[in-house]
């Protein structure tokens, strides 16, 4: 990856000239780029955070999701911004796509923020839509709720039911994550456990040692 320092140094002064809607997308994209490049420019990130809070109500669902995901990858604590984004997300959950719901819950969980109202709202918005989701959008929320030790039975039941028919499409990251999540919160779902075991056998040579051990532990815990 190429990180152009002079270009990044020029970005911050320009941001203030944009309209709120354009600024929201711009802030989110710049933050995302910094996260991908692992470029921890603290003054720039602080400026993006400050401006994001100023135009919080103008951010759309994708802006909120991208900002949350980006700042959850930053070395500097970003809890206050993520908390504010979570509050804004609750008011706009009907606008979120599946990946947006998954990424935002994942971001809150990654920072281990105690935000039960947000997690409950995400679950309520996700349950009716789980059957339409792809593996990544099923695996990430299950990890997020397990990481936060949130036992949302209806959500986990919905994720399990939606995962079984497409379990063969889960990749070498999504399968172990899902197994780990269900075992961590001791959510026993025999059909899902059996499906994970069968799918794991097929991709066993591709799994890393940690993923193998986590999957074995999870299936033993759920047996």
Q: Do residues 79 and 119 share a domain?
A: no
Residue 207 is classified by DSSP as: S
Query: Could you say which of 33, 54, 86 is where a domain stops?
Result: 86
Q: How far apart are CA 212 and CA 210, in angstroms?
A: 5
Alpha-carbon distances of 8 from 17, 91, 121, 185, rounded to whole Å? 16, 32, 36, 42
Q: Is residue 176 part of a domain?
A: yes
d(CA 115, CA 109) in angstroms, rounded, equals: 9
Residue 132 lies in a domain: yes
User: Which structural domain, as residue segments, surrounds residue 117?
Assistant: 97-223
Q: Note the pTM of the prediction, 2 decimals.
A: 0.83
Residue 116: how many other CB atoms lie within 10 Å: 10
Q: How many domains does the chain have?
A: 2
Whether residue 120 is found in the same domain as residue 184: yes
Mutual angle of helices 190-203 and 174-184, in 10-degree steps: 150
DSSP 54-65: HTGGG--HHHHH
- Domain annotation covers residue 92: no
CA distance 152 to 124: 10
Residues 114 and 218 in one domain: yes
Contact 104, 89 (CB under 8 A): yes
Closest Cα partner for 69 from 50, 94, 86?
A: 86
Report how far residue 34's alpha carbon sits from residue 8's, in angstroms, rounded to the nearest whole number.
Answer: 9
Q: pLDDT tens track of the chain, all 223 residues?
A: 445 556 555 655 555 545 566 688 888 888 888 888 877 777 888 888 888 998 998 999 999 999 999 988 886 667 688 889 989 999 999 899 998 999 889 888 887 777 788 899 999 999 999 999 999 999 999 999 999 999 999 999 999 999 999 999 999 999 999 999 999 999 999 999 999 999 999 998 998 999 999 999 999 999 8
Q: Is residue 91 part of a domain?
A: no
Give the span between the Cα atoms of 104 and 134, in whole angstroms.
16
Which of 86, 116, 138 is a domain's end point?
Answer: 86
Nearest Cα to 98, choosing from 73, 62, 69? 62
- Same domain for 46 and 129? no
- Claim to verify: residue 6 and residue 67 sit in the same structural domain: yes
């Amino acid at each position: 990856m190429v990180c152009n320092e002079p270009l990044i140094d020029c970005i911050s002064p320009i941001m203030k000239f944009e309209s709120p809607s354009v600024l929201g997308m711009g802030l989110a994209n710049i933050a995302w780029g910094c996260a991908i490049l692992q470029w921890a420019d603290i003054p720039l990130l602080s400026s993006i955070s400050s401006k994001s809070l100023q135009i919080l109500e103008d951010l759309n669902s994708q802006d909120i999701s991208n900002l949350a995901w980006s700042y959850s990858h930053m070395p500097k604590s970003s809890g206050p911004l993520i908390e504010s984004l979570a509050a804004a997300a609750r008011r706009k959950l009907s606008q979120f796509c599946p990946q947006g719901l998954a990424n935002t819950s994942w971001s809150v969980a990654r920072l281990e923020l105690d935000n039960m109202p947000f997690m409950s709202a995400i679950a309520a918005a996700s349950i009716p839509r789980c059957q339409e989701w792809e593996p990544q959008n099923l695996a990430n929320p299950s990890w997020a709720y397990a990481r936060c030790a949130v036992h949302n039975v209806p959500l986990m039941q919905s994720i399990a039911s939606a995962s079984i028919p497409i379990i063969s499409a889960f990749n070498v990251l999504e399968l172990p994550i899902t197994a780990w999540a269900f075992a961590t919160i001791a959510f026993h779902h025999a059909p899902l456990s059996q499906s994970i075991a069968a799918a794991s056998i097929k991709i066993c040579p591709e799994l890393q040692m940690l993923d193998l051990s986590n999957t074995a532990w999870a299936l033993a815990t759920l047996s």
